[in-house]
């Protein structure tokens, strides 16, 4: 069984849907690596303003209705956020600093819930404090570690790696050399991992 | 059962996938109206150059790989076209001129096959001649009708209607006031039509 890498961005509602679906499926899924990255620098490199892109457009309006329907379909709590896109930098650094902790997936999903189910601002350090405290973790030490230069570099490197893999949107899944874009492709990515073994 | 409108664009490979899936499903599907429209004017109104958009980008490279995988998954013949995007204006006019003919769906799928399975240029009138001739239809008269001012206006009106419905990509599906974008949403659109009845 080939490992799957799940590339997610905390500001992306479709990443939230994918994270919830993946967590719900985890008992039967192939090995999945949860990798945070930043979509902003990739969009900026293409000349797009990540915040303004699609703002006020039919595509943006469609996205929210689409996410609402998907959330209902998969029984995932969802509330359209007041702030969009949110700045997920600090959350991404925390997730980057602790890739092998057993609490990683719970933390990631809690951040997504804060942003897309509870209307909290995940750019605020208090929001992240509350999440880590609520999980019974040593919040101060974790946030300090997340702010170390090595962690910042690791997140920049992850973003560069995502870009080098041809990733241009979130969420994305990589299975060997195959790239799948969008929560729509989650099942296809898992099927690819289950049936195709790289040499 | 609410009717489904299938909005397609002949230059769109995902419209091809959706058309083939819809045709294969037709015995069990709700009533489906096949509506050609032109995506180009909608993209231009947003300031995008439809031909250059994504050209040479990771997103474009991904699209072809994604379409290849989908074609294999749904057992649909596919060959990456030499020319992209193709100009589907004449084909769209023919489909627009004869919305109620029993041969419409066969014609639409034959045009998509020419573009995405046989490597033909659907902008060439000979390609469309061959398709109509092969279907045993009175080709000359049909093409003459497709070039009438009333047909040209009907296609412009269809494109304006698509835009007014919030459509920004192809294929799209409308079910009452619900919009679904992408061949990924075909099943969701059909489910919506089966379970939801507008007042």
Report the share of chain A in percent with pLDDT over 70: 94
Token code pair at residue A93: 């650094």
Interval B111-126: pLDDT, tens: 999 999 999 999 999 9
Q: Do B184 and A179 touch (CB under 8 A)?
A: no
* pLDDT at residue A199 greater than cutoff 50: no
What are residue A35's DSSP bridge partners?
A7
Determine which of A42, A60, A62, A192 to mutate to test the interface with B (most B C-beta atoms within 10 Å).
A62
Is the pTM here over 0.90, yes or no?
yes
Q: Measure CB to CB from residue B58 to each of A66, A168, A184 and give the nearest one.
A: A168
Q: Distance, in angstroms, between A112 CA and closest chain B CA?
A: 24
**Domains of chain B: total:** 1
Instruction: Report the CATH number that the domain containing residue A185 is assigned in CATH.
Output: 3.40.30.10
Q: Measure CB to CB from residue B168 to each of A58, A180, A184 and give the nearest one.
A: A58
Structural domain boundaries, residue B74? 4-195
Which pLDDT score is estimated for A1?
76
Q: Could you tell me which residues come within 8 angstroms of residue A150 by beta carbon, excluding any fewer than 6 positions away?
A: none
d(CA B185, CA B166): 16
Token code pair at residue B125: 């009138």
ipTM of the modeled complex: 0.91
Which pLDDT score is estimated for B51?
63
Q: Do A58 and B167 touch (CB under 8 A)?
A: yes
User: Residues B1, B194: contact at Cβ < 8 Å?
Assistant: yes
Predicted confidence band of residue A52 (pLDDT cuts 50, 70, 90):
low
- Write out B144-199 in H/E/C secondary structure: HHHCCHHHHHHHHHHHHHHHHCCCCCCCEEEECCEEEECHHHHHHHHHHHHHCCCC
Which pLDDT score is estimated for B87?
96
For residue B73, the SS3 value is: helix
d(CA B70, CA B88): 22
Q: Could you tell me which residues come within 8 angstroms of residue B188 by beta carbon, excluding any fewer than 6 positions away?
A: A69, A73, B180
The residue of chain B with its CA nearest to that of A180 is B66
Q: Tell me which residue of A150, A129, A136, A127 sits closest to A102, measured CA to CA.
A: A136
d(CA A179, CA A174): 5
Q: Measure CB to CB from residue B59 to each of A61, A69, A168 and give the nearest one.
A: A168
The residue of chain B with its CA nearest to that of A178 is B65
Asked if B69 reaches chain A (Cβ–Cβ under 8 Å), the answer is yes
Q: Do A59 and B188 touch (CB under 8 A)?
A: no
Asked if A74 reaches chain B (Cβ–Cβ under 8 Å), the answer is no
Interval B19-43: pLDDT, tens: 999 999 876 677 899 999 999 999 9
Q: Do A188 and B69 touch (CB under 8 A)?
A: yes
Determine which of A39, A43, A58 to mutate to test the interface with B (most B C-beta atoms within 10 Å).
A58
Which pLDDT score is estimated for B50?
65
Burial class (CB in 10 A: 0-12, 13-18, 19+), A166: middle
Token code pair at residue A167: 């990733």
């Amino acid at each position: 069984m080939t490992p799957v890498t799940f590339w997610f961005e905390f500001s992306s509602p479709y990443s939230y849907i994918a994270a919830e679906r993946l967590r719900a499926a985890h008992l039967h899924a192939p090995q999945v690596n949860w990798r945070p990255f930043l979509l902003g620098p990739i969009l900026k490199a293409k000349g797009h303003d990540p915040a303004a892109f699609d703002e006020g457009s039919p595509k943006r309006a469609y996205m929210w209705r689409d996410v609402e329907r998907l959330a209902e379909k998969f029984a995932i709590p969802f509330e359209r956020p007041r702030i969009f896109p949110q700045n997920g930098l600090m959350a991404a650094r925390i997730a980057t600093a602790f890739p092998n902790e057993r609490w990683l997936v719970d933390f990631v999903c809690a951040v997504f819930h804060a942003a897309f189910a509870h209307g909290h601002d995940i750019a605020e350090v208090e929001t992240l404090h509350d999440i880590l405290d609520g999980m019974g973790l040593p919040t101060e030490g974790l946030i300090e570690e997340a702010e170390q230069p090595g962690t910042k570099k690791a997140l920049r490197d992850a973003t560069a790696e995502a870009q080098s893999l041809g990733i241009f949107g979130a969420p994305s899944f990589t299975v060997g050399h195959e790239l799948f874009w969008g929560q729509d492709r989650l099942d296809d990515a898992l099927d690819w991992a289950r049936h195709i073994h790289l040499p």
